[in-house]
Structure 1
Amino acid sequence: MTSEDFIPAPLRRLWGMPESSRLGRPATLDVNAVVAAAVQIADRDGLGGVTLPKVAESLGFTSMSLYRHVGSKDELLTLMANAALGQPPKIDTGDWRKGLHGWAFAQRAVYQRRPWLTRVPTSGPPAGPNQIAWMETALAIMSRTHLDWAHKIGALSLISGYVVQSVRQYSELTDGRAEGQGQADTEREYGRALARLVDPARFPETARLFSSTLFEAPPSDTPDATIADADFTLGLELILDGIAVRVEGADS
């Protein structure tokens, strides 16, 4: 018995480890083909469009045929998430703050291209080779700090969670807007409406917010992507400010 025998089958498939050889003709279907077909459907129809019957049909097989290659729908989603994430870009690790900033924007770009990724249920910590590659990049960026492992993982998880939530929220808000209405106009209408509804005696600070110029700031012709980038950057800088405090404390 080898060490590989102790690796669960789902993890073996996730890492592309070869299955034990069988007698007979070579299989005409493999896990990579199943995952690629599922990702293609998700890119076209969203995560809700991915079902085992649809994946099987697109490949010209029956649903039962897929179970030889993926153990369940949940496992298929895990395989899809790892495959769709892809490999991280090369990022300069000389400056941890610039590095994590670039890492976050690179991950955000992936989720923006494939917003369905933000809806894949999280069934555990990163385990696939692509997910580990992104983790390795972030850890390499923080390697020159004196943060301990717990704080490094905490920073990584916080930034990743922020990226996923921001992309998902932007996607949902975009879907909820009236056709042809931009983000600047939506925010302006929201601010003006709530300014009339919020009672200063009951919600004094919120009333001050809606009476401020915050929701009047962006011109109507400001591209949605520009506003989204600014909003994302603001939140990311707040997170990095907090990490900086820990980095400085660890260095002292």
Structure 2
Amino acid sequence: MDDAARLLWTPPAPAKRGPKPRFTLRAIADAALAIADEHGLDAVTMQQVAAHLGTTKMALYRYLPGRAELDAVMLDRALGSPDPLPEGDWHRALTHWADDLHRRVLTRPWAVELSQRPHIPGPGELAWFEAGLSALAGLPLRGGEKLDALTLLVGHVMSLARRQSLGAASEKDLALGLAPILDTHAEEFPHTASAFADAVADGSQDDALRFGVERILDGIRSLLSTHEHRTP
């Protein structure tokens, strides 16, 4: 177990004689979150977190060894615990799970980068795994298949959140910008012109989150059908 994982998973040691610790990991993580929320992830340094707390960088090393450990507690604190899932329907439960994760990450898009750095999940992040897997618990899938299903959902959610945070044009804005071009060059790009026109007509613009989640869940349903027809 690396230092970051040990920090997240080892209960605090009983207090010893001497001065009471001035800070907690939660307070340090919250200071780092405040900096990242206001100035971005690149602004988060041990020095800046210490300044935010009114202490010195060296004083923080009493609580965590370095930046990797700070990243770990930041991510765990940023994700928090998932909302309770609706019961009785794995499809509805996983849709809710993906929507909840998207909302959390979209409020703190820098968490996407932290989640992609090599690390061992902490209690908060693992709670998301547990919730997602609980929705799949009654299905005749192997453990690896369940983990792969969550990986696909997480990848889709994180990719969209990252694009949105970077200011990628929405389909509606892109359609408005392309409208005069496609009006003039529709014969050169007939499929593009038709797709944008249809999306406007049926109100399906900017629906990539729902569309992607539905297709992944359709894939799970197809896999279930395969299992049902598999020869014993």
TM-score w.r.t. the length of structure 1 is 0.79
- Give the Cα–Cα distance (whole angstroms) in 2 for the partners of residues 8 and 70 of structure 1: 12
Could you tell me which of 219, 228, 231 is aligned with 2:208?
231
- Pair 1:245-2:227 in alignment: no
Q: Kindly indicate whether the alpha-carbon contact (under 8 Å) linking 2:199 and 2:205 is maintained by their aligned counterparts in 1.
A: no
Q: Kindly indicate whether the alpha-carbon contact (under 8 Å) linking 1:126 and 1:132 is maintained by their aligned counterparts in 2.
A: no
- Pair 1:128-2:110 in alignment: no
Deviating more after overlay: 107-116 vs 8-17:
8-17
- Give the Cα–Cα distance (whole angstroms) in 1 for the partners of residues 120 and 89 of structure 2: 25
Partner residue in 1 for 2:33: 39
Partner residue in 2 for 1:203: none
| One-letter amino acid of the counterpart of residue 107, structure 1 | L
Partner residue in 2 for 1:187: 175
Q: Kindly indicate whether the alpha-carbon contact (under 8 Å) linking 2:64 and 2:70 is maintained by their aligned counterparts in 1.
A: yes
Q: Kindly indicate whether the alpha-carbon contact (under 8 Å) linking 1:191 and 1:210 is maintained by their aligned counterparts in 2.
A: no
| One-letter amino acid of the counterpart of residue 196, structure 2 | L
Partner residue in 2 for 1:4: none
Instruction: Quote how far apart the aligned CAs of 1:70 are.
Output: 1.8
| One-letter amino acid of the counterpart of residue 232, structure 1 | L
TM-score w.r.t. the length of structure 2 is 0.86
Instruction: Quote how far apart the aligned CAs of 1:62 are.
Output: 1.0
Partner residue in 2 for 1:3: none
- Give the Cα–Cα distance (whole angstroms) in 2 for the partners of residues 20 and 235 of structure 1: 48
Aligned to 2:116, the other structure's residue is in SS state coil
- Pair 1:99-2:93 in alignment: yes
Q: Kindly indicate whether the alpha-carbon contact (under 8 Å) linking 2:7 and 2:69 is maintained by their aligned counterparts in 1.
A: no
Identity %: 29
Deviating more after overlay: 207-216 vs 55-64:
207-216
- Give the Cα–Cα distance (whole angstroms) in 2 for the partners of residues 67 and 157 of structure 1: 34
Partner residue in 1 for 2:8: 14
Q: What is the aligned residue count?
A: 228
Aligned to 1:167, the other structure's residue is in SS state helix
Q: Kindly indicate whether the alpha-carbon contact (under 8 Å) linking 1:96 and 1:141 is maintained by their aligned counterparts in 2.
A: yes
- Give the Cα–Cα distance (whole angstroms) in 2 for the partners of residues 8 and 111 of structure 1: 25
Partner residue in 2 for 1:61: 55
Distance 1:197 1:61, change over 3 A: farther
Q: Kindly indicate whether the alpha-carbon contact (under 8 Å) linking 1:56 and 1:62 is maintained by their aligned counterparts in 2.
A: yes
Q: Kindly indicate whether the alpha-carbon contact (under 8 Å) linking 1:35 and 1:80 is maintained by their aligned counterparts in 2.
A: yes
Instruction: Quote how far apart the aligned CAs of 1:93 are.
Output: 3.8
Instruction: Quote how far apart the aligned CAs of 1:164 are.
Output: 0.5
| One-letter amino acid of the counterpart of residue 15, structure 1 | W
Instruction: Quote how far apart the aligned CAs of 1:34 are.
Output: 1.0
- Give the Cα–Cα distance (whole angstroms) in 2 for the partners of residues 150 and 191 of structure 1: 45
Q: Kindly indicate whether the alpha-carbon contact (under 8 Å) linking 1:92 and 1:99 is maintained by their aligned counterparts in 2.
A: yes
> Which consecutive residues of structure 2, in runs of 5 or more, have no partner in the other structure?
none
Instruction: Quote how far apart the aligned CAs of 1:216 are.
Output: 6.8
- Give the Cα–Cα distance (whole angstroms) in 2 for the partners of residues 251 and 241 of structure 1: 15
Aligned to 1:38, the other structure's residue is in SS state helix
- Give the Cα–Cα distance (whole angstroms) in 2 for the partners of residues 132 and 77 of structure 1: 16
Partner residue in 1 for 2:135: 141
Q: Kindly indicate whether the alpha-carbon contact (under 8 Å) linking 1:166 and 1:232 is maintained by their aligned counterparts in 2.
A: yes
Q: Deviations over 1:113-155 (max 9, x none)?
A: 1122122252346521111111111111001100000000000
- Pair 1:210-2:192 in alignment: yes
Instruction: Quote how far apart the aligned CAs of 1:8 are.
Output: 4.5
Instruction: Quote how far apart the aligned CAs of 1:46 are.
Output: 1.9
| One-letter amino acid of the counterpart of residue 12, structure 2 | P
Instruction: Quote how far apart the aligned CAs of 1:251 are.
Output: 3.2
- Give the Cα–Cα distance (whole angstroms) in 1 for the partners of residues 178 and 65 of structure 2: 47
Instruction: Quote how far apart the aligned CAs of 1:183 are.
Output: 5.2
